[in-house]
Amino acid sequence: MNVGIFYSSISNWQAPTSQHKTGTLKEFALGVKACGDTPVSHKDPSGIIENMDAAVILGYAIDKGFRHKIITNLKSKNIPIIFLDSNIFVYGKKDLRCYRYSVNGIYPTDGEYFLSLPIDSSKLDRILAIHNIEIKPWRQNGSHILILGQRTTSWNMLNRNILEWVTTTIEKIKQITDRPIRVRLHPGDLENNISNINKLQKRFGNSITISTKLNNQNIINDFEDAWCSVGYNSTPNCASIMNGIPVYLEDPVNSWAKDVAFTDLNLIENPPMPDRTDWLHKIAHIHHTSEEITSGAYWRKYKEFYNIPPSV
């Protein structure tokens, strides 16, 4: 089998700052070789490799841009796409040995994450050890409501504007509880954060506090003494659950936290705190370590799932 390794899916992939990303795709190429198949480098965003049995790209996009063009071209030729997405566990330690992998989609509803296959019960402990994470018990008390922001516009929110959502959410929360509200804006949205901070402060003044990479880089600090988190659908919602902070979700359909979150904001003063065991193993299952990728373990799983005969 020929597997297209799309380095062109990485913005400025040749830059030194992108080497950890290109390194991840190189690891996938090693895994393909380990299984007797042929990785084919793709570095030109304007073209497409012919005679390709599958493609591997890093990231996702729903409209415009170089990555969306790649995805569209691949889909037009009915070439299966393996997507590499961000690591849900990375909040604990910025370790780059683990990513989420899915086929033909990036949302829980449309990506193939092999969840129908048996789950390795030992995998969770291995991933927690890599990231130096300890799952905390559900909190017994707390003070503030933490709003978990996402990028101002992104495919993850299906292009809904985060500032509008945060503003509406603050107003809803104020009608239900008088607890302090802290807003955590996305630390990677620096070009919009200053403008968003100014707009939020102008509207709400000192009745809220705002946390960003500008003044608080680690999300763990915002979880401290939190009563509950409120999110749209991004991975920090999962980090909140792992830290024992209940989560309300605006968009549970597309969130990996949906199994253990709640969707009625009126429950914010008495949020449910369900058993997280099965959910934690599920989240570990959708991640794969560098060792699993370079050894070909993931690629073999892919081929077995789709009944593709082994090459070696």
Task: Say what the pLDDT of residue 154 is.
Answer: 64
Query: Which residue ranges form the domains of the chain, and what is each CATH number?
Result: 2-132+285-305 (3.40.50), 144-275 (3.40.50.2000)
State phi, psi for 100 to the nearest 5 degrees: -85, 140
Residues 6+ positions from 240 with CB-CB distance below 8 Å: 146, 148, 223, 226, 229, 231, 246, 247, 257
Going by C-alpha positions, the residue among 210, 199, 207, 211 that lies closest to residue 179 is 207
Task: Say what the pLDDT of residue 66 is.
Answer: 84
Task: Say what the pLDDT of residue 297 is.
Answer: 97
Q: b vs e for 114-144, b when ≥16 Cβ sit within 10 Å of the residue's Cβ?
A: beeeeeeeebbeebbebbebeeeeebeebeb
CA distance 210 to 54: 44
Per-residue confidence of the chain (312 residues) as pLDDT tens digits? 999 999 999 988 878 778 888 999 999 999 999 999 999 999 887 767 778 999 999 988 767 778 888 999 999 999 999 999 989 998 876 766 799 999 999 989 999 999 999 999 999 999 999 999 999 999 999 999 999 998 776 667 777 788 899 999 999 999 999 999 999 988 777 788 888 889 999 999 999 999 876 666 688 999 999 999 999 998 999 999 999 999 999 999 999 999 999 999 999 999 999 999 999 999 999 999 999 999 999 999 999 999 999 887
Q: Which helix (H) or strand (E) holds 19?
A: helix 19-34
Task: Say what the pLDDT of residue 97 is.
Answer: 79
Task: Say what the pLDDT of residue 187 is.
Answer: 79
